[in-house]
Amino acid sequence: ATFKGWMDIMYAAVDSREVCEQPQFEVFFSMYTYFVIFIIFGSFFMLNLFIGVVISNFNQQRKKISGKDLFLTEEQKKYYNALKKLGSKKPQRPIPRPQNVFQGFLFDMVSHKAFDITVVTLICLNMVIMMAENNQESVKIVLNQINYFFVAVFTAECIIKILALRHYFFTSGWNIFDLAVVVISLVGLGLSEGFKKFISPTLLRICRLARIGRILRLIRRARGIRTLLFALLMSLPALFNIGLLLFLVMFIYAIVGMTNFACLGWEGGIDNLFNFQTFDGSMLCLFQITTSAGWDGLLVPLLKGPSSCAPNLDLKQEQRKNCTNKGIGILFFVSYVIISFLIVVNMYIAVILENFSVATEESTDPLCEDDFDMFYETWGKFDPQATQFIEYSALSDFADALAEPLRIPKPNKIQLITMDLPIVSGDKIHCLDILLAFTKRVLREYGNLEGLDLHIEEKFIASNPTKVPIKPITTTLKRKQEEVSALIIQRAFRRHLVQR
Q: Are 398 and 377 in contact (CB under 8 A)?
A: no
Could you tell me the maximum CA-CA distance found in the chain, to the nearest angstrom? 133
Looking at domain 101-221, its CATH architecture is Up-down Bundle (1.20)
Q: What is the distance, to the nearest Å, from the Cα of residue 359 to the centroid of all Cα atoms in its chain?
A: 8
Can you tell me the distance from the alpha carbon of 400 to that of 380, in angstroms, rounded to the nearest whole number? 15
Q: What is the distance, to the nearest Å, from the Cα of residue 85 to the centroid of all Cα atoms in its chain?
A: 16
Q: Give the per-residue pLDDT at 318.
A: 46
pLDDT 10s digit of each residue in the chain, 500 long? 566 666 777 878 888 887 777 787 877 788 888 888 887 777 677 777 777 777 777 767 666 655 554 444 555 565 555 555 555 555 566 778 888 889 889 988 998 888 888 888 888 888 888 778 777 778 878 888 888 898 899 899 999 999 998 888 888 877 888 888 888 888 877 776 666 666 665 666 666 666 666 666 666 666 667 677 777 777 778 788 888 888 999 999 999 888 888 777 777 777 888 888 889 889 988 888 888 777 777 877 777 655 455 544 555 544 444 456 777 888 888 888 888 887 887 788 778 777 777 767 665 666 677 777 788 888 888 887 778 888 888 888 888 888 888 888 888 888 888 888 888 888 888 888 888 888 777 776 444 455 555 555 555 555 554 455 567 788 888 888 888 888 888 888 888 788 76
How many Cβ atoms from other residues are within 10 Å of residue 11's Cβ?
A: 16
Residues 6 or more apart in contact with residue 289 via CB below 8 angstroms:
295, 298, 333, 336, 337, 340, 341
Q: Give the per-residue pLDDT at 230.
A: 72
Residue 250's identity, in one-letter code, is M
Q: What is the CA radius of gyration of the chain?
A: 35
Q: Are 186 and 155 in contact (CB under 8 A)?
A: yes
Can you tell me the distance from the alpha carbon of 208 to that of 272, in angstroms, rounded to the nearest whole number? 38
Q: Which stretch of DSSP H or E encloses residue 391? A: strand 389-391
Give the CA count within 13 Å in the CB-facing half-sphere of 14. 16
Say if domain 226-363 classifies as CATH 1.10.287. yes
Read off the pTM.
Answer: 0.55
DSSP classification of residue 112: S
Burial of 307 (C-beta count, 10 Å sphere; 0-12/13-18/19+) = exposed
Give the CA count within 13 Å in the CB-facing half-sphere of 193. 9
How many Cβ atoms from other residues are within 10 Å of residue 195's Cβ?
A: 11
Q: Hey, what's the torsion of the CAs at 426, 431, 432, 433, to 10 degrees?
A: 50
In DSSP terms, 183 is beta-bridged to none
Closest C-alpha among 438, 478, 431 to residue 457: 431
Q: Give the per-residue pLDDT at 147.
A: 84
CA angle, 306 as apex, 304 and 312 as ends, to 5°? Answer: 110
Residues 6 or more apart in contact with residue 279 via CB below 8 angstroms:
254, 255, 258
Q: Give the per-residue pLDDT at 156.
A: 93
Same fold, 101-221 and 226-363: no
Q: Are 461 and 401 in contact (CB under 8 A)?
A: no
How many Cβ atoms from other residues are within 10 Å of residue 271's Cβ?
A: 11
Domain boundaries, the chain: 6-68, 101-221, 226-363
Closest C-alpha among 277, 244, 242, 250 to residue 263: 277
Can you tell me the distance from the alpha carbon of 258 to that of 117, in angstroms, rounded to the nearest whole number? 60
Can you tell me the distance from the alpha carbon of 440 to that of 405, in angstroms, rounded to the nearest whole number? 12
DSSP classification of residue 388: S
Q: Are 467 and 388 in contact (CB under 8 A)?
A: yes
DSSP classification of residue 218: G
- What does 231-294 look like in DSSP terms, one character per residue? HHHHHHHHHHHHHHHHHHHHHHHHHHHHHHHTTB-S-TT-SSSS-SSSHHHHHHHHHHHHTTSS
Strand duo 474-475 + 422-423: pairing: antiparallel
